[in-house]
Structure 1
Amino acid sequence: MKESWRWYGNLDRITLPEIAQTGATGIVTALHDIPYGEVWPVEAIRTRQGEIAAPNLGLGWNVVESLPIHEAIKTGEGNLAPLFADYRQSMANLAACGVRAICYNFMPLLDWTRTDLAARVETGGTALRFSQVHMAAFEIHMVGRDGAQDDYSATVQADAALWFENSTRSDRDILLSSIMAGLPGAFARYDIAGLRRALDGYRDIDRNALRANYARFLAEIIPAATDLGIRMCVHPDDPPRDILGLPRIVSDADDIDWIMSRQDSIANGLTLCAGSLGAHPENDVPAIARRFAERIHFAHLRNVAKEPDGSFEEAAHLAGDTDMPALISALLTEEQRRQEAGCVDCEIPFRPDHGHELLSDVGRGTHPGYPLIGRMRGLAELRGVIAGLTYARSATAAS
């Protein structure tokens, strides 16, 4: 498996020489300064590659995360032909530069969503957290979304009302900021009024309508990806449930099966995000990995600890509810299958995702969920599991 590391370019407080010291060699990044829907020029791609390939670092850009999809494509609004053409041109420019794995998502309006960016961990440090109570308070009392009450239990609603009643203006501002933090890049986040207006754009878009718009995207993009030798890999919804009344359509095995069947091509693939899928109480993440192994082109390895009311918190990489050794074993089995089938590049790139903020991470101001020490700890733990499983397989084969 190819050890990789997410880097936000000049927006990142972690430097490439520091990343090189973690042992990761693949860089997962994007051109975050280019607005959604605009073409990524070859010159800009090559400039970013040149930064990554600085002498004596041993790094290379191996996965794009993400090539964003313009919101109009998700809503199906207006003349989309120019947007699809520009997206295909960005793909062609990336392929011309030798970057052929593209992670993307189809989540409406927001990317990953958390309500607390610095939840205290018992042994020290902080973690990302999604509180069902705080999300209910946000939807019902701060945004005032019609029908929001229907999405929460009576107990959660009561606790949300109590939190809101006792909250300060600062508490509410922090909650809004936390929920907006998952949006990548340097672009403006929504305030409450802006979010209400944005939600109005989805008022008539239910699950079926969003699926239809996604199917159109796949029909427009996957044939081009096939021709270019690009592997598109959709990232699951995070969290894997409807929020803010917006449908989420990449949340479980049935959703993934629907996506893969829309365009039956190896280019139509999956980013196996253990944390996103693991936050769904009915998802068996290792089983999902085994079922869709052939289509997994990228993996995010992290773990979450779920709670009965629907809340969850980022756990240490080998803790939490997902059996990480079983998941990694499934990925190694797929790599072996690819090798036996004669694949040129059999390794599945993975990155340690959403680490705890530990030690000198605290106060450094890195992107939420993307500290240096916490992710390096996760990478070391994952590396140990991979080495142990690989040794056991070799010993078994030799006996």
Structure 2
Amino acid sequence: MKQTWRWFGPMDLVSIDDTLQAGVEGIVSALHHVPTGAVWTREEIAQRQREIATMTDGTPSGIAWDVVESLPVSEDIKKQQGDWRTHIENYKISLRHLAEAGIEVICYNFMPVLDWTRTDLAWRRPNGATCMRFDLTDFAAFDLHILHRPGAENDFDDALREAAQERFAKMAEGRRTELAKTVVFGLPGAAENFSLNEVRQHVAEYNSISEDRLRAHLIDFLSEVTPLAEDLGLRLCCHPDDPPVPLLGLPRIMSTEAQYAAVLNTVDLSANGITLCSGSLGARPDNDLPGMMERWGSRVHFLHLRNVKRETANIRGSFFEDEHLAGDTDMVALIAAALREQNRRKAEGRADWSIPFRPDHGQDILDDLGRKAQPGYPSIGRLKGLAELRGVIAGLQHGMVQ
């Protein structure tokens, strides 16, 4: 398993030098400054590769850009409106340019409007560390009393509506502002950050788009880009919904194994694959992560290894980002399944036998608390997580995995 690290570019407060000291073997990055739907030019890709290949003092880093996360899919493509056909053609051009640059793994997602949703980006733990959290009552308070989404009251039962009303009434104005900003924060480093009015507009435009229709739009997109990716030797891998449940009345189509199976079986090419994110999928108690790795391992092109602690047994509930070997996902069993998949790939002679993974997210600890890096992407917290994951891999490779 190839150890990689997410890097947001020259403005990232965690430097390439830091990643080397963490002992990583490759970098996960993207051109966050390029508008969604635009072409990733050869020049921009080459510039990012040079930045990754160079330490602060100009010394070669010895590491390369191995995984793109993400080459974003525009809202126009997801809704099949506006410039969606042009955006698909631009996506194809970008894929060609990435292939020319030698980058083979392309992560993307198909989440409507918001790429991920949390209600707290720095929730304090008993030991003084902070982490990201999704609190369902806070989210309901946002949806009902800040966004004022039409029909929102139908998405929450009486008890939750009452709890949200009480929570909102007790919130100071500063917390209300912070909550609104946090929910619409979007993907770290993303080119798009929405205002509340823009969120309202985008959400309203999905009123006529059902889960089945959104899935059809994803299949249409993949039917266009996957054959090209296959020809170019690229591996596309869709990230799951985060959280993996419907929010804001929006359809969710990549939240469960069954939903992945529907898309993978319809566009049945090896280039059409999975970013198996143990944190996103692990927020649902009915997702079996080790089992999914066993059943769909041949199509898993990228692994996000993180853990969450669910605060209820409900499908939709509150959760927080736990330590990598804590939480509700059996990380040892998941890694064991991934190592077995690698052994199968080696036996088959697959060139892509080594599955890239990164320690996803992490709690802010020690000097992270003052660094204020991208939310969810601390330096020391991820280093701790990577060390723990590395230890599990080393232990399993001593003969426990056959």
TM-score, normalised by the number of residues in structure 1: 0.96
2:396 match: secondary structure? helix
Pairing of 1:130-209 with structure 2 (within 5 A)? 130-185=134-189, 187=191, 189-209=193-213
2:367 match: secondary structure? helix
Deviation at 1:184, TM superposition (A): 3.6
Using the alignment, how far apart are the partners of 1:367 and 1:69 within structure 2? 22
2:146 match: secondary structure? helix
Question: Unpaired segments of 5 or more residues in structure 1?
Answer: none
Using the alignment, how far apart are the partners of 1:6 and 1:186 within structure 2? 13
Range with greater deviation from structure 2 (337-346 or 314-323): 337-346
1:93-150 Cα offsets, whole Å, 9 max, x none, are: 0000000100000000111110000111112210100000001001111111122122
Mapped pair 1:343 → 2:350: yes
**In the alignment, what sits opposite 2:89?**
85
Using the alignment, how far apart are the partners of 2:157 and 2:340 within structure 1? 41
Deviation at 1:52, TM superposition (A): 1.0
2:397 match: secondary structure? helix
Mapped pair 1:387 → 2:378: no
Pairing of 1:204-283 with structure 2 (within 5 A)? 204-283=208-287
1:227-278 Cα offsets, whole Å, 9 max, x none, are: 1100000000000011111111000010010110121111000001000000
**In the alignment, what sits opposite 1:368?**
375
**In the alignment, what sits opposite 2:319?**
312
**In the alignment, what sits opposite 1:326?**
333
Using the alignment, how far apart are the partners of 2:191 and 2:306 within structure 1? 26
Deviation at 1:156, TM superposition (A): 1.9
**In the alignment, what sits opposite 1:22?**
22
1:208 match: secondary structure? helix
Using the alignment, how far apart are the partners of 2:285 and 2:158 within structure 1? 20
Q: Residues 82 and 271 from structure 1, CA distance in 2 versus in 1: closer, same or farther, beyond 3 angstroms?
A: same
Mapped pair 1:98 → 2:97: no
Mapped pair 1:47 → 2:47: yes
2:363 match: secondary structure? coil
Using the alignment, how far apart are the partners of 2:136 and 2:106 within structure 1? 31
2:200 match: secondary structure? helix
Q: Which amino acid in 2 is paired with 1:318?
A: L
Using the alignment, how far apart are the partners of 1:219 and 1:371 within structure 2? 37
What's the RMSD between the two structures over aligned residues? 1.3
Question: Do the aligned partners of 2:146 and 2:180 also contact (CA within 8 Å) in 1?
Answer: no
Range with greater deviation from structure 2 (157-166 or 146-155): 146-155
Question: Do the aligned partners of 1:272 and 1:298 also contact (CA within 8 Å) in 2?
Answer: yes
Using the alignment, how far apart are the partners of 2:278 and 2:344 within structure 1? 21
Deviation at 1:81, TM superposition (A): 2.5
Using the alignment, how far apart are the partners of 2:303 and 2:372 within structure 1? 25
TM-score, normalised by the number of residues in structure 2: 0.96
**In the alignment, what sits opposite 2:65?**
61
Q: Which amino acid in 2 is paired with 1:190?
A: F
Question: Unpaired segments of 5 or more residues in structure 2?
Answer: none
**In the alignment, what sits opposite 1:9?**
9
1:181-236 Cα offsets, whole Å, 9 max, x none, are: 23343545223222212212212111111111111101111011011100000000
Using the alignment, how far apart are the partners of 1:197 and 1:78 within structure 2? 15
Using the alignment, how far apart are the partners of 2:159 and 2:81 within structure 1? 38
